[in-house]
Amino acid sequence: MTGLLVFAHGSSVESANEAVRAITAQLAALGGFSLIEAAFLEGGKPSLAGGVEGLMSRGATRIVVLPYFLTLGLHLQRDLPKLIDEAREAFPDLKEIHVTEPLDGHPALAQILLERAQSAC
């Protein structure tokens, strides 16, 4: 079974982490996913490893990580690959851990910005 992790930066502002959990719940409803959790680089809980462990304890044998980041910066280029390597070592029973593209580059993003701009212009 495949488990999904929505992986966000995380914030010391807990309401920001709650917003990530809320979009994770929306995604679960939209896609009919049951094995799904939010996980955070910093600030929020669980961590990526904690999220993987949680999903595995519920039966996941394969993990898909969805980076909830707009920018392909250092967190995705340096931090995330390191966390993925660590998870592979820490959870040898995991058959696969796969990282999808981030949000960046999706055409709907410009459309959202357009709506925001038009609401203010």
Task: Give the sheet arrangement for strand 62-68, strand by strand.
Answer: 36-40, 2-8, 62-68, 96-99
Is residue 119 a contact point for a copy of itself (CB under 8 A)?
A: yes
> What are the E-state strand segments in the chain?
2-8, 36-40, 62-68, 96-99
Is residue 20 a contact point for a copy of itself (CB under 8 A)?
A: yes
Distance separating alpha carbons of residues 24 and 79, to the nearest angstrom? 21
Distance separating alpha carbons of residues 63 and 88, to the nearest angstrom? 11
Using CB under 8 A, which of 58, 72, 88, 90 touches a copy of itself? 72
Residue number with CB closer to a copy of itself (64 or 83):
64
Minimum CB separation from a copy of itself for residue 104, in Å? 6
| Residue 50 CB burial class (10 angstroms; 0-12, 13-18, ≥19) | middle
Minimum CB separation from a copy of itself for residue 4, in Å? 6
Minimum CB separation from a copy of itself for residue 47, in Å? 17
Residues within the interface to a copy of itself (CB under 8 A): 2, 4, 6, 8-9, 11-13, 15-16, 19-20, 23, 26-27, 30-31, 33, 43, 64, 66, 68-74, 77, 98, 100-101, 103-121
